[in-house]
Amino acid sequence: SSASSSQGKPDADSKQPGYETLVVTSENGITKIMLNRPTKKNAITTQMYQEIMLALEAAAKDDSAITVLTGNGDYYCSGNDLNNFTDIPPGGVEEKAKNSAILLRDFVGCFIDFPKPLIAVVNGPAVGISVTLLGLFDIVYASDRATFHTPFSHLGQSPEGCSSYMFPKIMGSAKAAEMLIFGKKLTAREACAQGLVTEVFPDSTFQKEVWTRLKAYSKLPPNAMRISKQLIRNVEKEKLHAINSEESSVLQGRWLSDECTNAIMNFLSRKAKL
């Protein structure tokens, strides 16, 4: 895909071992975390949630100046893998919902607390939690092929990733609600006009333009950047954690509702027929 080709192959040295669902590299002051389930549109499995958290914790401590999240292949990320819902523990669906809410809260918490500039390189369509989390990034660069879709109501669910707070703050309530409540899908240009995306690039030159800029940014004084990012974040860090807890708790209830169960059943049975 263009994602890997235009950056060239990472050095064997720079690729970090131990990840099955990600490719994590670190060079030139930039740690790059690439979602690597391209045949599944980078849908996030339980394992991938855990690995992203580990990769963020490592990136927070390494000597890179900035950290990048991107996707391998045509998609940036298709959101939560709905097959996660089919793996029911002995404690039943209630335990499943409880565990999922804890995982979600911890996962989003890593993005709230991340101490360095965090950049999303949105190489293609983004769905669900991969969209809502963008409100917690410092920069969001998007290919003009990218779209932004949060069909929570369609799935009987509700917003997460602090989007119930950040999206109205970023784009105003009248734009945010059409996305979060009614599942309106945005183009990259629309998402940029509404402030969710920093800048949109033609797909043909996306990787080249973005990485040229990121390499320049990564050479700025790293302490100044880290301190500036934390100054901006600290204003609302406590509030973001409270919102994250509330969103996760509401979703725990949603996952046990008929609306959600029926919607996910329908989705999975439609997929099975394809």
Q: What angle do CA 203, 184, 96 make, to 5 degrees?
A: 100
Q: Toward a copy of itself, which CB reaches closer, 127 or 134?
A: 134
Shortest CB 95 distance to a copy of itself, Å: 22
Q: Which stretch binds a copy of itself (CB under 8 A): 7-15, 43-51, 78-86, 149-157?
A: 149-157
Rounded CA separation 30/219 (Å): 10
Q: At what angle do helices 46-61 and 92-113 cross, to 10 degrees?
A: 20
174 binds a copy of itself (CB under 8 A): yes
Rounded CA separation 210/188 (Å): 15
User: Given candidates 194, 203, 215, 268, which one binds a copy of itself under the rule CB under 8 A?
Assistant: 194
Backbone torsions φ then ψ of 235, nearest 5 degrees: -55, -35
User: Given candidates 102, 182, 205, 237, which one binds a copy of itself under the rule CB under 8 A?
Assistant: 182
Q: Toward a copy of itself, which CB reaches closer, 40 or 113?
A: 113
153 binds a copy of itself (CB under 8 A): yes
257 binds a copy of itself (CB under 8 A): yes
**Which three-class secondary structure state does DSSP give residue 152?**
coil
- Reading the block at residue 217, the tokens are 């940014």
14 binds a copy of itself (CB under 8 A): no
Q: What angle do CA 147, 252, 152 make, to 5 degrees?
A: 25
Q: At what angle do helices 92-113 and 237-255 cross, to 10 degrees?
A: 160
What is the pattern of x (binds a copy of itself, CB under 8 A) and - over residues 49-88?
Answer: ----------------------------------------
Rounded CA separation 113/241 (Å): 9
- Which amino acid, one-letter code, is at 197? V
Interface with a copy of itself in residues 210-249 (CB under 8 A):
217, 220-221, 223-225, 227-229, 231-232, 234-235, 243, 246-247
Q: Which of 99, 32, 110, 109 is nearest to 72 (CA)?
A: 32
Shortest CB 130 distance to a copy of itself, Å: 15
Rounded CA separation 27/51 (Å): 20
Q: Which stretch binds a copy of itself (CB under 8 A): 4-12, 87-95, 124-132, 167-175?
A: 167-175
133 binds a copy of itself (CB under 8 A): no
- Reading the block at residue 19, the tokens are 């990840």
Instruction: Using CB under 8 A, list all residues that contact a copy of itself.
Output: 117, 134-140, 152-159, 164-166, 168-178, 180-183, 193-199, 217, 220-221, 223-225, 227-229, 231-232, 234-235, 243, 246-247, 250, 253-254, 257, 259-260, 263
